[in-house]
Amino acid sequence: MPQEILAPQEGFEKFARKSKRELFLDRMEQVMPWGELLALVESHDLSADSSQPPVGLPILLRTYFIQQWFNLSDPGAEEALYESPVLRSFVGVDLGVAPAPDEAAIRHFRQLLEESNLGGEILVKVNTSLAEQGVRITIGTNADAAIHEGASSTEYAAGEREQPGDGDKKADETGAHIGAPGTEMIRSLTKAKGMDVADPLFTGTGALYVAVISPDAQRRSAALRALEECHVSKIQEFLSYPADLEDAPRTLNRDFDIVLVDLDTNPKLALDLVETISVRGLAIAMVYSAHADSDLLLRAMRVGAREFLTLPFNSGAMAEALVRASALHSVTRPQEKADGRLLVFLGAKGGSGVTTLACNFAVSLAQESGQKTLLIDLNLPLGDAAINLGIKPRYSIVNALQNSSRLDASFLSTMLIKHSSGLSVLAAPSELATAQFSDDAVNKLLKVACEEFDYVVVDAGSRLDLQHTRLYEESATIYLVTQVGIPELRNSNRLISLLSAAGSPKLFIVINRYDPHNLEIDEAHLTKALTRPSDWKIPNNYAAVRHMQNTATSLMEDDSEISRAIRQMTRSVCGQPAIPEKKKGFSFFR
């Protein structure tokens, strides 16, 4: 006959002691602001939903927390309540009176919290209360929570989070495990260097690590929801702007890919923070606001923001912004890739037609090469490239040069406008540009442009003041544009002497508006004045050029003598064979 084993009777267990879980729950009973949390939930009248199971809100609220602290799914929470007298006691379930809440009731309550945006508010209230009491919670590898007492709320510093499968790896300070059951969503209030911080949120998918900075709980929660819908891998909340921007680099030194900053609480401080993030290269900076203000957008762009999102968030817009930011952050330039070629159009005299040639040359080069080509209008203060090409840029080269300290490929891309030919253009401003820029700013722009583009064409006008920049270095190619006239040839002679010294750029001489039938200076004298034969001759066709300027259509759209001459120039640059000369048909009339 099998021996009957009697279950131990409570109160008769000689060696009984409280488990760590029971001690933890006892402490949570004391430190959690249960009254405030219940009032918060009741204020949203969640029980008014007719589908809400007849279970008291206090029981459901406490069940919600044990899910987070012990990593329990909805069915897991129901099962745990039946298995553990300790959990039933904490939640307030008496099986002699009523059953524990079932899986459906637990799931329904959790979904109502999420739909009502109560999760974020509960999180803030809990974290604030615990921090004030010097209590922090850690989650171990078994997903059980532990308490650390006595730490001042100003001493907390967010640390790396232990993830499932990390073995005995230590988990640093974390908070209540707030999130959907079955996922590792860990957020808690910590404080570091004057900035309130919430620990990382791990959704287990994707590769981005995003920081969200907003003192406003509602706007911060909206950003979190939008990011979670995009399946971002890690999210860390900052519950305030930094008290001191000098501390921001230390606080944000966590290998963030993206920092998303709320502009509305304190626009000036937020923009200063974005500038610090951008200048220090801490991460890709993105901003968001409830106001689609063009002035605010421009200010954000100037301090380095890469994306400007507006509330309410559109998940598609957020996803696209993240993809772009991810590409900017993660794509590294292959070491073996050479810098793009720098092709500079310089006029021997004002009115030589430099802009017309530079614009059409750049369009032709983009078409003939099929490679990334950029036109920079450096013919300040009165550049006309945008007018010639019929484009209306939002930003100009002035915006780029004013922000040279944070200029990189991604920032430059925000300044550019695309021409229908595929050419990218960094235009001169539409208004008179009176600002002066240093050689260092110009060099930074040219460096970034050549790293990003295969060909960089520069309309330099007649700017000899830039001769100490990369425009005049040995690696550049200068097209000296002149005409058949005494003043032009005199200036050309001087410039050729200057540009023929050792270490000077490669030089091509381009005679513009050339008419072989109307030369007051013959070819021999022309060559003597230039000290060498010209390399290219662009036929004179005043009507075609005037039509281009008036209609903003490129010369390259027509098959003319001018377009063929320019195309020959660009084909020589990209290594393509010359275009065969058209044979003239027989005619009795000459």
Query: pLDDT band for position 89 (50/70/90)?
Result: very high
- Residue 60 in contact with residue 46, Cβ under 8 Å? no
Burial of 404 (0-12, 13-18, 19+ CB in 10 A): middle
| 154 has pLDDT over 70 | no
What does the chain come to in residues?
590
- Domain annotation for the chain: domains and CATH numbers: 20-114 (no CATH), 193-330 (3.40.50.2300), 341-573 (3.40.50.300)
| 377 has pLDDT over 60 | yes
Regarding predicted confidence, which is higher, 249 or 356? 356
Q: What is the pTM of this model?
A: 0.46
Query: pLDDT band for position 510 (50/70/90)?
Result: very high
- Residue 238 in contact with residue 255, Cβ under 8 Å? no
| 386 has pLDDT over 70 | yes
Query: pLDDT band for position 481 (50/70/90)?
Result: very high
The CA distance from 419 to 392, in Å, is: 10
Regarding predicted confidence, which is higher, 166 or 492? 492
The per-residue pLDDT of the chain, averaged, comes to 77
Q: Which amino acid is at 517?
A: H
pLDDT at residue 388, as a whole number: 87
pLDDT at residue 412, as a whole number: 87
Identify the helix (H) or strand (E) that includes residue 275: helix 267-279
Residue 357: count other Cβ atoms within 10 Å of its Cβ. Answer: 26
pLDDT at residue 586, as a whole number: 44
The CA distance from 277 to 271, in Å, is: 10
The CA distance from 241 to 211, in Å, is: 12
User: Per-residue pLDDT tens for 289-336?
Assistant: 998 888 888 888 888 888 899 888 876 788 888 877 777 655 433 344
Query: pLDDT band for position 457 (50/70/90)?
Result: very high
Straight-line distance from the first to the last Cα atom of the chain, in angstroms, rounded to the nearest whole number = 130
Query: pLDDT band for position 235 (50/70/90)?
Result: confident
Which residues are 424's β-sheet partners? 374, 418
User: Per-residue pLDDT tens for 32-71?
Assistant: 889 888 888 888 765 544 444 456 889 999 998 888 787 7
